[in-house]
Amino acid sequence: MVAATMAKPPHPFWTLTEGRAIFEFGAFGLLRKQMKNLPKGDGHPVLVLPGFMASDRSTRPMRKLFDDLGYKSYGWGLGRNVKFNEKREQEMSELVERIYEENGRTLSIVGWSLGGVFARELAKMHPEIVRIVISLGSPISNNRRHSAPSRLFEAINGKETKPEAEGRYRDLESAPPVPTTSILTKTDGVVSWRGSVQAPSKGADTENILVPASHVGLGVNPLVMVAVADRLAQPEGEWKPFDRSGWRELVFKDAPQVD
């Protein structure tokens, strides 16, 4: 267990070195053909949600990979992820319902940073139609101060958003009642890794996967894609924790629990 500490954003060193994501993007391009050999999907739909201030453009490489692996991927189609209010909450909820109705199958949701927070909360709203949730460097702690852009988020949306004022989005630490994987990195320069660790949840299948990555590079890091593809490819209703045996134990770690 990691001793409890006051919530704070990542060390400035990691924030200043987020530019290393360009190397992760380069590696994604170099290994793109080889990644087509990752575990194949069964055709179920996968919704991908972008991070704060980002749009579907940021998740395009990941979604194209999912398509190549046999999934039917969806961007959120809601522009930049900036303003969060009742309207945006309703739009996301309706999107999840529409994707389910179009395919007649449960969907998986992959959320990057703030998108992962939305993914978890959408699964709480629609547990009967969401198959699995994967968050990438998401601030899933109840304390916003783990995230470097938290003050900017509050300047735009206020310290308490309307959905929060109405009692929602107040228990981010609780996992949804569907299999949930949090992928995080200790060298995250945007969201402190401590804010991305999900605690074991009674009656829920949860796990943390620690990867070597930057925050900005999480959506194009080839190692992250290995973990995400592995999680998505599990047969529905047969979830098992990520297998770290063999070469994987050298790069994929189990994040320590934050007390």
Measuring CA to CA, which residue among 101, 76, 102 is closest to residue 89?
76
The per-residue pLDDT for 5 is 54
How many Å apart are CA 42 and CA 72, to the nearest integer?
Answer: 9
Q: Could you tell me if residue 141 is inside a domain?
A: yes
Q: Could you tell me if residue 148 is inside a domain?
A: yes
The per-residue pLDDT for 2 is 44
The per-residue pLDDT for 259 is 66
How many Å apart are CA 10 and CA 191, to the nearest integer?
Answer: 6
Mean per-residue pLDDT over the chain, rounded: 95
User: Per the structure block, which two tokens stand in for 193?
Assistant: 């890794």
For 54, 84, 203, the CA distances from 124, given in Å and listed in that order, are: 23, 18, 14
First-last CA distance in the chain: 6
The per-residue pLDDT for 257 is 80
Q: Could you tell me if residue 218 is inside a domain?
A: yes
CATH number reported for the structural domain that contains residue 40 in this entry = 3.40.50.1820
User: Per the structure block, which two tokens stand in for 172?
Assistant: 């981010």
Q: Which residues of the chain have pLDDT under 50?
A: 1-4
Q: Could you tell me if residue 6 is inside a domain?
A: no
**Chain-centre distance for alpha carbon 115:** 6
The per-residue pLDDT for 3 is 42
Q: Could you tell me if residue 86 is inside a domain?
A: yes
What is the extent of the structural domain holding 194? 12-235
Measuring CA to CA, which residue among 224, 42, 225, 222 is closest to residue 131?
42
- 135, 111 in Cβ contact below 8 A? yes
Model pTM score: 0.95
The domain total for the chain is 1
The per-residue pLDDT for 6 is 74
